[in-house]
């Protein structure tokens, strides 16, 4: 009560407002009772207690998923550590049943190791990490993942985690057994030691015991690691499951280009963030502040921002008021600023996207691989991000089911929470019917023989929860995915139309070829004359320039054939173009002329004359199962099986970013 | 390096292991470089910083949603506070545009108020609250919601929040302007004052400025409040949006039964939690520990648990080892223990579920309200929970679209993240085809003229994220929802079958009634005799006992009629039963006999004889749009329009829990 009286007293004069004072105090005390009782219950909650109670938001909501989550967090950490130190990752993941529903999980890397004093906090304290404030793409970010695994281990089996880490070849390894004091979010070292560990020159090994269930199939640890290996071909991953050993070999010795840490981009920066930056800035003038603490702000851009905000560029950052900061935020939106540098991002790239798709396809042998799209980097809330989309279609893919969706974020496969993910939501809102896929009542996941792959890379992927299973519905991200999907979908539509047109012509052709000779024969019989030549008649009825592509694949090579037949009444003189990577060519006959994105042939065909090109091409399954063919110099309405030559034929395909 | 040397030194003798010592130290220091550099970057992250960066996990991922989230958190808090103090809630929610994309949101309640010293932490510190450790149903739990709103407000508009709170009639109100120091997760009081506030005797008002967008429609603040009002009929909610005022009047003066705080239930308690409880227990013996710190553990049950775990019941809790604790956890699973007490839970109840459904139905006037199901309480990870399911079918509901799903958790409507929710996932895995709804490829959300409502109540609803938008996929919860859905679905199937059978018979009847007289007439003409009576012939062909129900609804009353016609060859003597709540009866003629869950009539009908019952019933739209009719004492294969009398007819419907 003393506190309360003091407050009332203190307010008598200085505030000068209409103050009501309650009398008598005894009555007041009685009335205040409920609030007081409630007040006593208010307590601080530690962040570990919070996540211990809400372990499902960390991905520990079922025994099957818990095992995968534990492996995922360990692998994310290991890959990040290796890449940060520019070491080619050598990972070992081991799972061994120790009793019913209890497993030992060990994850080992050849990363730079962790210095001894940091081991307890890295593994035994939530919200402790190195990547939270860095603006560049990495798998882990929050400092929750691996300590969450240690916490879950302790919660379900009561056993401490064992960490083994070594920072250099000639060093001994530190061995630490630790648990978490969840009441205070503090690591507790149970035992520590220095041991000989010569399996690796440097690296870290984490061992935890957790309750879980080990399954096979789509959502299994094996599958998770397989998909991880596909988009991280620079990593070698050995997986030992209950004595069985699987090795995902390294496919390249090149590390992905190291991502660079950047400053925040002005687009979408929140007012609160800007205020904090202004408060802590060491710059003396607002224009210097803008140039030095943001990316893509040149002297010119800084000037433009200040002038749009009507603020003196020489003003001190610390003197900027909230209202002025708001003007700055609005000005940043109006001024044209370059997209953020893309070197903070590490997209998967067209080559690996195709490879990723091929790997899940097995026996489906789809008829068409849509060229993968890598969008230009964009920004949400000041965070750069980049979207990639791949798609395959046809073949033996099931026709009457929903399309399969493969989701990746920062090169990590997402296996759970498909329904919660911005990737799925973006797919659901595209009008797929106009692109050739079925879609009930015009929305939702389309049905048809297709697989869609989407990758979202960002310096900060906005996951819907700490388990990092789904991307949140950030409007800017949905928009970019939407654009990527539609780009791919347009290719798909072209392909489907081409196929349909061909089928129609082929059907007509078959009928014509059967009926016309019959008619000719019958007419000849009736009038008692010999059967006339009918090739020209057929040509007249068909009136098309027929372009056909066929290919067979075996052991890294395509045996392919392009056939062109002139079914028009007149002679045709035109150019034929085929999109082929030059380095894929083993042999082509006739050779043609290298041109733009492929090869050009100049053709001259009399009516009913045909022309054949044989090709032997290097590539992987899918690369040349269909081919983009174009014609120029002929009325396009007559052409079946090729598109008009696009305007950007001679340009490099800038949209496709190749990694490695 | 000193630290490192010390450690090495300390390990020389005592551990007695094979210790590798690195020499020379200079070399070591160089090698350790990368790890050291990385170590320097490791930092603690405050929980506010974390959520500021990940504001989307709190529900602030788009401007439209941000407004709703802010209102939702305020309203949750206000309702919880009132109910805890057993005050009938009077809420005011105001939204006013202050500039483009910026709104003032004010939420005011007549709750017990908050004592001054607690105001800063309650609104300006994340993970601070009173309900985290209490095991009972409440809307808020984590101490994140409202301080998250304050944080978002500060981030987007840079303005402090204003809190006004008064704990008793004769007291002045405390006015506090505060912001959050997110670097340290600490409240910062910008200004405080004591002011006169006589709008309410006690209560709290929160005012924040946030960036957002105000929309109409399905996912609007108005809709959120409307749905909230439906399942919280004891609350009066006034909503002022941009000058327009909407009042959701209180529908009852009875507060929902206050939920009682309980101890944890032994089923599914995690080992780590048990270890913590054992460590902090004041009980001297393990059997007393079990009885006093768990719910539903009697002396007998405690003994059974100890004996199943092979532990001396007199052993001290603090002396229980991890292995023994594991045995206890396993023993708890084996011993039969009563379900948790349900007074910690507050289900919506059948009446309000129907009302909730009616409210979204508007002009659809469905033909059938499936009787709502309230399942018995169950347990996951020691947390009691309870599932309720309601369903409507037919009428003008759209036939070729996915069914609409209404989700509630702890009486709070869930508007977002349908695809991420265990409720949706449970619906998707039911085989709906066998219950009469369409379902593409046997899985997914069914299509058809239906709405499904599911409520999950729990002392701890496991939400997928801190935004509390979707229930996580906890296997036990999915299982219970599944059972509730199937119970409802069985009713639906019966209804659809009854309708189909009736339609078939009716079609046959129409044909028979047209054709037989024609045949009779023609035959009579041919043989030159008078047309014979044909009623008996029709009867012979039909061979059914026809029971029909029709009703008209107007202003809280049903005008209904039951018609029974004996289209069988023989006399029919049987009992007819109608399920009617006794208090709903205004008049019935003939009266019948009260029996079991309704009224019974003893009928004796000659062939072709009919019988009619007129009913006037009180109720709300949907209550008696269809009626459950049963027959007994007649061969059921002949009956159309009524089911065989169920075995539990005379029992109270224990499954339906009525609240209020």
Do the Cβ atoms of B464 and A417 come within 8 Å?
yes
In chain A, % helix, strand, coil (3-state, to 5) comes to 35, 25, 35
Interchain contact A270–B (C-beta under 8 A) = yes
Interchain contact A196–B (C-beta under 8 A) = yes
Q: Which residue of A has its CA nearest to B156?
A: A271
Contacts of B61 in chain A (CB under 8 A): 462, 472-474
What's the whole-number mean pLDDT along residues B266-270?
87
Q: Which residue of B has its CA nearest to A181?
A: B276
Q: What is the CATH number of the domain that holds A81?
A: 3.30.565.10
Please indicate, yes or no, whether residues A212 and A89 belong to a single structural domain of this protein.
yes
Query: Is A254 domain-assigned?
Result: no
Rounded Cα distance between A90 and A579, Å, is: 38
What's the whole-number mean pLDDT along residues B27-35?
56
- Taking Cα atoms as reference points, which of B559, B539, B565 lies closest to residue B642? B565
pLDDT cut 70: percent of chain A above it: 93
Rounded Cα distance between A484 and A425, Å, is: 14
Query: Is A609 domain-assigned?
Result: yes
Contacts of A202 in chain B (CB under 8 A): 31, 35
Residue B636, SS3?
Answer: helix
Rounded Cα distance between B535 and B197, Å, is: 81
Interface list for B 405-434 with A (CB within 8 A): 417-421, 424-425
Interchain contact A98–B (C-beta under 8 A) = no
Interface test with A, best of B272, B277, B414 (most A CBs within 10 A): B272
Cβ-based neighbours of A582, under 8 Å, separated by 6 or more? A594
State residue A137's pLDDT score: 83
- Between B4, B169, B419, which is nearest A419 by CB? B419
Please indicate, yes or no, whether residues B62 and B207 belong to a single structural domain of this protein.
yes
A129: tokens are 């990490």
In Å, what is the CA distance from B642 to each residue of A86, B572, B596, B600, B614? 76, 15, 17, 13, 17
What's the whole-number mean pLDDT along residues B420-443?
91
Please indicate, yes or no, whether residues B234 and B293 belong to a single structural domain of this protein.
no
Interchain contact B327–A (C-beta under 8 A) = no
Mean residue pLDDT across chain B:
86
Please indicate, yes or no, whether residues A486 and A606 belong to a single structural domain of this protein.
no
Do the Cβ atoms of A21 and B172 come within 8 Å?
yes
Interface test with B, best of A168, A180, A401 (most B CBs within 10 A): A168
The dihedral built from the CA positions of residue B171, B176, B180 and B186, taken in this order, carries a sign that is negative
pLDDT cut 70: percent of chain B above it: 93
Please indicate, yes or no, whether residues A477 and A411 belong to a single structural domain of this protein.
yes
In Å, what is the CA distance from B147 to each residue of B128, B258, B338? 9, 26, 39
Mean residue pLDDT across chain A:
86
ipTM of this predicted structure: 0.76
Please, which residues bridge with residue B563 across strands? B548, B612
Backbone dihedral region of B611: left (phi > 0), alpha (psi from -120 to 50 degrees) or beta? beta
DSSP string of A353-411, one letter each residue: HHHHHHHHHGGG--SEEEEEEEPPPEEETTEEEEEEEEEEE-TTS-SSSBPEEEEEETT
A400 or A558: which leads in pLDDT: A558
Per-residue pLDDT band at A451 (split at 50, 70, 90): very high
- Taking Cα atoms as reference points, which of B408, B146, B57, B323 lies closest to residue A54? B57
State residue B412's pLDDT score: 93
Rounded Cα distance between B472 and B83, Å, is: 26
Q: What is the CATH number of the domain that holds B320?
A: 1.10.8.50
Whether A607 contacts A570, CB under 8 Å = yes
Please indicate, yes or no, whether residues B480 and B563 belong to a single structural domain of this protein.
no
State residue A32's pLDDT score: 56
B444 or B28: which leads in pLDDT: B444
- Between A23, A35, A127, which is nearest B167 by CB? A35
Do the Cβ atoms of A127 and B50 come within 8 Å?
yes
What's the whole-number mean pLDDT along residues B288-299?
94
State residue A187's pLDDT score: 94
Please indicate, yes or no, whether residues A452 and A582 belong to a single structural domain of this protein.
no
Rg, Å, chain A Cα set = 33
Write out A45-105 in H/E/C secondary structure: CCHHHHHHHCHHHHCCCCHHHHHHHHHHHHHHHHHHHHHHCCCCCEEEEEEEEEECCEEEE
Find the helix or strand (DSSP H, E) in which A432 lies.
Answer: none
End-to-end Cα, chain A, rounded Å: 70
Please indicate, yes or no, whether residues A84 and A228 belong to a single structural domain of this protein.
yes
Query: Is B600 domain-assigned?
Result: yes
Q: Which of A144-148, A484-488, B222-226, B365-369 has the lowest mean pLDDT?
A: B365-369
Contacts of B437 in chain A (CB under 8 A): none
Query: Is B348 domain-assigned?
Result: no
State residue A362's pLDDT score: 61
Please indicate, yes or no, whether residues B291 and B200 belong to a single structural domain of this protein.
no
Contacts of A54 in chain B (CB under 8 A): 142, 462-463
Please indicate, yes or no, whether residues A310 and A359 belong to a single structural domain of this protein.
no
- Between A112, A121, A276, which is nearest B35 by CB? A112
Rounded Cα distance between B8 and B10, Å, is: 5
Per-residue pLDDT band at A654 (split at 50, 70, 90): very low
State residue A443's pLDDT score: 81
Q: Which of B269-278, B351-360, B571-580 has the lowest mean pLDDT?
A: B351-360
A398 or B24: which leads in pLDDT: A398
End-to-end Cα, chain B, rounded Å: 69
Please indicate, yes or no, whether residues B439 and B392 belong to a single structural domain of this protein.
yes
Interchain contact B282–A (C-beta under 8 A) = no
Do the Cβ atoms of B270 and A156 come within 8 Å?
yes
- Taking Cα atoms as reference points, which of B445, B527, B544 lies closest to residue B485? B445
Whether A587 contacts A616, CB under 8 Å = yes
State residue A170's pLDDT score: 80
The pLDDT of residue A317 is above 90? yes
> Å from B197 to nearest chain A CA?
9
The pLDDT of residue A11 is above 50? no
Contacts of A275 in chain B (CB under 8 A): 158
- Taking Cα atoms as reference points, which of A395, A369, A357, A492 lies closest to residue A437? A492
Q: What is the DSSP code (8-state) at residue A41?
A: H
What's the whole-number mean pLDDT along residues B508-522?
80
Whether A166 contacts A113, CB under 8 Å = yes
CA-CA-CA-CA dihedral for A267, A273, A276, A282, to nearest 10: -30
Query: Is B227 domain-assigned?
Result: yes
State residue A15's pLDDT score: 38
Highest mean pLDDT: which of B12-16, B40-44, B217-221, B273-277? Answer: B273-277
Rounded Cα distance between B115 and B455, Å, is: 34
Whether B372 contacts B390, CB under 8 Å = yes
pLDDT in tens, A251-281: 788 888 888 888 889 988 889 999 999 998 9
Interface list for A 53-92 with B (CB within 8 A): 53-54, 56-57, 61-62, 81, 84-85
What's the whole-number mean pLDDT along residues B141-157?
90
Rounded Cα distance between B30 and A130, Å, is: 21
What's the whole-number mean pLDDT along residues B610-619?
92
The dihedral built from the CA positions of residue A243, A247, A248 and A252, taken in this order, carries a sign that is positive
Whether B652 contacts B556, CB under 8 Å = no
Q: What is the DSSP code (8-state) at residue B480?
A: H
The pLDDT of residue A134 is above 80? no
State residue A3's pLDDT score: 33
Angle, helix B145-157 to helix B63-84, in steps of 10 degrees: 140
The pLDDT of residue A420 is above 70? yes
Q: Which residue of A has its CA nearest to B87?
A: A34
Residue range of the domain that includes B564: 533-644
Interchain contact A121–B (C-beta under 8 A) = yes
Please indicate, yes or no, whether residues B317 and B460 belong to a single structural domain of this protein.
no
Query: Is A373 domain-assigned?
Result: yes
The pLDDT of residue A6 is above 80? no
State residue A407's pLDDT score: 95
Contacts of A34 in chain B (CB under 8 A): 85, 112, 167
Query: Is B357 domain-assigned?
Result: no
CA-CA-CA-CA dihedral for A440, A443, A445, A451, to nearest 10: 90
Strands A236-241 and A244-248: antiparallel
Do the Cβ atoms of B424 and A425 come within 8 Å?
no
DSSP string of B518-585, one letter each residue: HHHHHHHHHHT-PPPP-HHHHHHHH-EEEEEEEEEEETTEEEEEEEEEEESSS-EEEEEEEE--GGGE
Other CB atoms within 10 Å distance of the CB of residue B395: 15
Q: Which residue of A has its CA nearest to B122?
A: A42
Q: How many domains does chain B have?
A: 5
The pLDDT of residue B294 is above 60? yes
pLDDT in tens, A504-532: 888 887 787 778 778 888 888 888 888 87
Q: What is the CATH number of the domain that holds A569?
A: 2.60.40.1170
pLDDT in tens, B66-82: 999 999 999 999 999 99
- Taking Cα atoms as reference points, which of A465, A469, A359, A457 lies closest to residue A424? A469
The pLDDT of residue B13 is above 60? no
Query: Is A610 domain-assigned?
Result: yes
State residue B520's pLDDT score: 81
Token pair 């061909």 in the structure block, residue: A502
pLDDT cut 90: percent of chain B above it: 50
Output the pTM of the full model.
0.78
Interface test with A, best of B14, B30, B158 (most A CBs within 10 A): B158
Do the Cβ atoms of B31 and A156 come within 8 Å?
no
Instruction: Read off φ and ψ for residue A343, nearest 5 degrees.
Output: -75, -5
What's the whole-number mean pLDDT along residues B43-54?
86
Interface test with A, best of B47, B131, B194, B261 (most A CBs within 10 A): B194
């Amino acid at each position: 009560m003393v506190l309360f009286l003091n407050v009332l007293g203190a307010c008598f004069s200085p505030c000068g407002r209409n103050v009501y004072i309650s009398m008598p105090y005894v009555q007041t005390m009685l009335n205040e009772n409920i609030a007081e009782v409630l007040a006593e219950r208010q307590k601080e909650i530690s962040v570990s207690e919070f996540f211990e109670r809400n372990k499902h938001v960390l991905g520990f909501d079922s025994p099957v998923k818990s095992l995968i989550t534990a492996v995922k967090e360990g692998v994310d950490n290991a890959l990040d550590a290796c890449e940060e130190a520019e070491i080619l990752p050598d990972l070992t993941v081991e799972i061994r049943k120790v009793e019913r529903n209890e497993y030992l999980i060990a994850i080992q890397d050849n990363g730079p190791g962790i210095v001894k004093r940091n081991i307890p906090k890295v593994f035994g304290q939530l919200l402790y990490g190195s990547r939270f404030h860095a603006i560049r793409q990495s798998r882990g970010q929050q400092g929750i993942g691996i300590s969450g695994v240690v916490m879950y281990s302790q919660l379900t089996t009561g056993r401490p985690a064992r960490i083994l880490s070594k920072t250099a070849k000639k060093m001994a390894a530190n061995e630490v057994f630790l648990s978490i004091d969840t009441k205070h979010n503090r690591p507790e070292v149970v035992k520590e030691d220095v041991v000989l560990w010569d399996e690796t020159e440097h690296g870290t090994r984490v061992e935890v015991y957790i309750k879980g269930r080990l399954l096979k199939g789509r959502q299994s640890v094996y599958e998770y690691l397989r998909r991880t290996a596909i988009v991280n071909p620079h990593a070698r991953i050995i997986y030992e499951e209950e004595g069985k050993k699987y090795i995902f070999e390294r496919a390249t010795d090149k590390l992905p280009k190291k991502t660079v840490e950047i400053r925040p981009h002005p687009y979408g920066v929140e007012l609160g963030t800007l205020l904090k930056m202004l408060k802590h800035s060491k710059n003396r003038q607002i224009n210097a502040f803008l140039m030095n603490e943001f990316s893509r702000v040149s002297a010119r851009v800084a000037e433009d921002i200040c002038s749009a905000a009507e603020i003196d560029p020489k003003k001190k950052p610390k003197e900027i008021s909230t209202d002025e900061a708001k003007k700055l935020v609005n000005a940043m939106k109006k001024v044209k600023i370059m997209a953020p540098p893309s070197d903070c991002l590490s997209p998967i790239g067209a080559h690996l996207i195709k490879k990723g798709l091929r790997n899940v396809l097995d026996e489906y042998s789809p008829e068409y691989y849509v060229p993968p799209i890598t969008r230009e980097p964009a920004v949400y809330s000041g965070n750069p991000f980049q979207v990639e989309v791949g798609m395959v279609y046809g073949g033996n893919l099931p026709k009457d089911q929903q399309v399969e969706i493969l989701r990746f974020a920062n090169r990590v496969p997402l296996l759970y929470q498909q329904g919660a993910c911005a990737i799925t939501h973006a797919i659901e809102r595209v009008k797929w019917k106009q692109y050739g896929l079925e879609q009930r009542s015009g929305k939702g996941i389309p049905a048809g023989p297709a697989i869609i792959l989407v990758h979202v890379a960002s310096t900060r992927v906005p996951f819907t929860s700490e388990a990092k299973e789904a991307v949140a519905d950030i409007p800017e991200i949905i928009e970019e995915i939407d654009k990527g999907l539609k780009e791919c979908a347009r290719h798909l539509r072209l392909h489907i139309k081409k196929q349909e047109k061909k089928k129609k012509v082929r059907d007509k052709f078959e009928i014509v070829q059967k009926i016309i000779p019959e008619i000719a024969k019958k007419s000849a019989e009736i009038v008692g004359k010999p059967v006339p030549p009918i090739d020209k008649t057929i040509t007249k009825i068909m009136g098309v320039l027929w372009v056909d592509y066929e290919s067979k694949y075996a052991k890294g090579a395509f045996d392919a054939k392009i056939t062109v037949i002139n079914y028009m009444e007149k002679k045709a003189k035109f150019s034929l173009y085929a999109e082929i990577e030059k380095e894929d060519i083993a042999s082509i006959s006739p050779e043609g002329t290298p041109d733009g994105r492929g090869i050009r042939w100049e053709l001259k065909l009399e009516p009913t004359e045909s022309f054949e090109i044989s090709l032997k091409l290097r590539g992987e399954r899918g690369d040349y199962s269909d081919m983009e063919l174009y014609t120029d110099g002929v009325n396009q309405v007559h052409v079946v099986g090729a598109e008009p030559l696009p305007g950007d034929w001679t340009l490099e395909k800038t949209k496709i970013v190749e990694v490695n």
